[in-house]
């Protein structure tokens, strides 16, 4: 292949990382042939498909005064640009502001910690400050009377982002080849309407896409291929024209025969989606615990030739970890598999109540006792939810997070893949 030939890019996995990467690469390299190869796509409900189960919100765990903080900062600004209707890597929402079809929204948050500010690890070591203080509009340390039992201190975030992941994933798919997606899913339609897309938690019979977004989708030309592969070698045999492979399989990297990433392991999460109370919640809530972890730096290996100069044979991009000295992250203690958070989802998507972090637990079985504990903890943290027995449970969710060197690869990398 000559340096003038358009590249053929194969992305394994259609979770949030795979989908976002495809959109960013399409904008950066408009002539490239891009294929998403995955067993699961948005609309699927499987314990092995992690992205739809996220709460989710923007709350940085970085404190390295370096690249991790920068990634989170870029993501915060990207989310703001999407909500405000600006173009991000060539895509934009039809309706800006709250109620946008991407499922993103701004909201304040109260975050509580069971240890002091030094032990919680919220300050950057090099500066002694919380780096995102100004980003979220000025953090306020909460008084003792405002903090729940068991907490040592709390922070009020005037404004951060909440994400309805079910809608966001559908929006990502909607930005490219919807006709292919619908041919793969004849009974499933994206959660998109002309103005405000509804989310129907239990139904797989959803509203057809708007004509405007469908025409945007067709212009992206990203191919979708639904298939289970046991190795990257098998994927390349199916797509022999490929000269660049991106592995975005998450926890699947443990099972790929020619990867077998033994540093990857599952952390089971259990949440509930409940109906919004009569008086909508005004903020999100988190109650975090602390534990020692290793941070990792994210890089691509081996290094490729710069676009558009491509090697004649495929180059496989894989994440690698570089452990550093133990530090603290704001996250639940490993000896205590419970964590408490409350995320009202935009677009009438209900309220996510969580949760749990159960290491090396692959079980898809629902834990009724844990459900009872989650409801009790969340109602104690946010009394405006009402009594646990009065909450209307819309769905019970179990997902497997991908853990890597004791660090969760999370939504902090969204739209941070390539600078605009």
More confident residue, 279 or 217: 279
Mean pLDDT calculated for residue range 183-209: 36
Mean pLDDT calculated for residue range 383-398: 95
Instruction: Give the model's confidence band at 336: pLDDT under 50 very low, under 70 low, under 90 confident, else very high.
Output: low
Could you tell me how far CA 268 lies from the centroid of its own chain? 15
Q: What is the pLDDT of residue 337?
A: 65
Sign of the CA dihedral running 42, 339, 396, 393: negative
Whether residue 39 has pLDDT greater than 70: yes
- Would residue 235 count as lying in a domain? yes
Sign of the CA dihedral running 295, 300, 301, 303: negative
Least confident interval from 1-10, 181-190, 197-206: 197-206
- Would residue 3 count as lying in a domain? no
Sign of the CA dihedral running 51, 173, 300, 415: negative
Whether residue 413 has pLDDT greater than 80: no
Whether residue 186 has pLDDT greater than 50: no
Whether residue 67 has pLDDT greater than 90: yes
Whether residue 215 has pLDDT greater than 70: no
Mean pLDDT calculated for residue range 362-379: 94
Q: What is the pLDDT of residue 360?
A: 85
**Cβ–Cβ under 8 Å, residues 264 and 290:** no
Whether residue 317 has pLDDT greater than 50: no
More confident residue, 12 or 6: 12
Whether residue 409 has pLDDT greater than 60: no
More confident residue, 328 or 113: 113
Q: What is the pLDDT of residue 288?
A: 76
Entry pTM:
0.75
Whether residue 54 has pLDDT greater than 70: yes
Mean pLDDT calculated for residue range 85-92: 89
Give the separation between CA 150 and CA 113, rounded to whole angstroms: 8
Q: What is the pLDDT of residue 344?
A: 96
Mean pLDDT calculated for residue range 310-321: 35
Q: What is the pLDDT of residue 61?
A: 86
- Would residue 267 count as lying in a domain? yes
CATH number, domain of 94, equals 3.30.9.10
Whether residue 107 has pLDDT greater than 80: yes
Whether residue 123 has pLDDT greater than 70: yes
Mean pLDDT score across all residues of the chain:
77
Q: What is the pLDDT of residue 296?
A: 31
Q: What is the pLDDT of residue 96?
A: 94
Q: What is the pLDDT of residue 120?
A: 81
Number of domains the chain is built from: 1
- Would residue 418 count as lying in a domain? no
More confident residue, 220 or 345: 345
Give the separation between CA 36 and CA 41, rounded to whole angstroms: 10
- Would residue 339 count as lying in a domain? yes
Q: What is the pLDDT of residue 44?
A: 87
Whether residue 280 has pLDDT greater than 60: yes
Q: What is the pLDDT of residue 82?
A: 94
The CB density around residue 2, as the number of other CB atoms within 10 Å, is: 8
Give the separation between CA 364 and CA 397, rounded to whole angstroms: 9
- Would residue 268 count as lying in a domain? yes
Q: What is the pLDDT of residue 400?
A: 87
Give the separation between CA 159 and CA 115, rounded to whole angstroms: 23
Q: What is the pLDDT of residue 208?
A: 33
- What is the extent of the structural domain holding 234? 8-413
Whether residue 311 has pLDDT greater than 60: no
Whether residue 359 has pLDDT greater than 70: yes
Give the separation between CA 207 and CA 204, rounded to whole angstroms: 10
């Amino acid at each position: 292949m000559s340096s003038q030939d358009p590249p053929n890019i194969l992305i394994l996995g259609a979770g949030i990382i795979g989908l976002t990467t495809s959109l960013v690469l399409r904008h950066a390299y408009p002539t490239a042939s891009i294929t998403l190869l995955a067993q699961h796509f948005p609309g699927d409900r499987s314990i092995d498909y992690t992205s739809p189960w996220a709460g989710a919100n923007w709350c940085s765990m970085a404190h390295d005064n370096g690249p991790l903080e920068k990634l989170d900062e870029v993501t915060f600004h990207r989310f703001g640009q999407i909500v405000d209707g600006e173009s991000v890597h060539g895509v934009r929402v039809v309706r800006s502001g709250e109620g946008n079809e991407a499922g993103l929204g701004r909201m304040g948050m109260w975050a509580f910690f069971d240890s002091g500010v030094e032990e919680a690890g919220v300050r950057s070591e090099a500066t002694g400050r919380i780096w995102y203080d100004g980003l979220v509009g000025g953090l306020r340390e909460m008084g003792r009377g405002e903090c729940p039992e068991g907490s040592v201190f709390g922070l009020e975030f005037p404004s951060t982002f909440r994400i309805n992941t079910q809608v966001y994933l559908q929006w990502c798919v909607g930005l490219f080849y919807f006709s292919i997606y619908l041919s793969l899913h004849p009974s499933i339609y994206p959660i998109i309407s002309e103005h405000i897309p509804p989310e129907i938690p239990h139904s797989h019979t959803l509203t057809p896409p708007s004509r405007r977004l469908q025409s945007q989708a067709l212009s992206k030309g990203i191919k979708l291929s639904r298939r289970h592969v046991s190795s990257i070698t098998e994927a390349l045999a199916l797509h022999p024209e490929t000269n660049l492979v991106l592995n975005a399989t998450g926890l699947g990297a443990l099972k790929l025969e020619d990867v077998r990433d033994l540093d990857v392991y599952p952390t089971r999460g259990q949440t509930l989606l409940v109906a919004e109370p009569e008086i909508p919640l005004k903020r999100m809530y988190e109650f975090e615990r602390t534990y020692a972890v290793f941070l990792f730096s994210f890089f691509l290996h081996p290094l490729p030739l710069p676009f558009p100069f491509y090697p004649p044979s495929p180059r496989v991009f894989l994440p690698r970890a570089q452990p550093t000295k133990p530090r603290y992250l704001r996250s639940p203690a490993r000896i205590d598999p419970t964590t408490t958070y409350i995320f009202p989802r935009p677009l009438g998507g209900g309220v996510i109540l969580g949760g749990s972090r159960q290491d090396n637990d692959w079980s898809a079985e629902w834990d009724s006792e844990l459900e009872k504990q989650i409801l009790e903890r969340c109602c104690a943290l946010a009394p405006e939810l009402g009594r646990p027995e009065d909450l209307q449970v819309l769905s019970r969710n179990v997902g497997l997070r991908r853990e890597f060197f004791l660090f969760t690869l999370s939504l902090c990398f969204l739209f941070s893949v390539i600078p605009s």
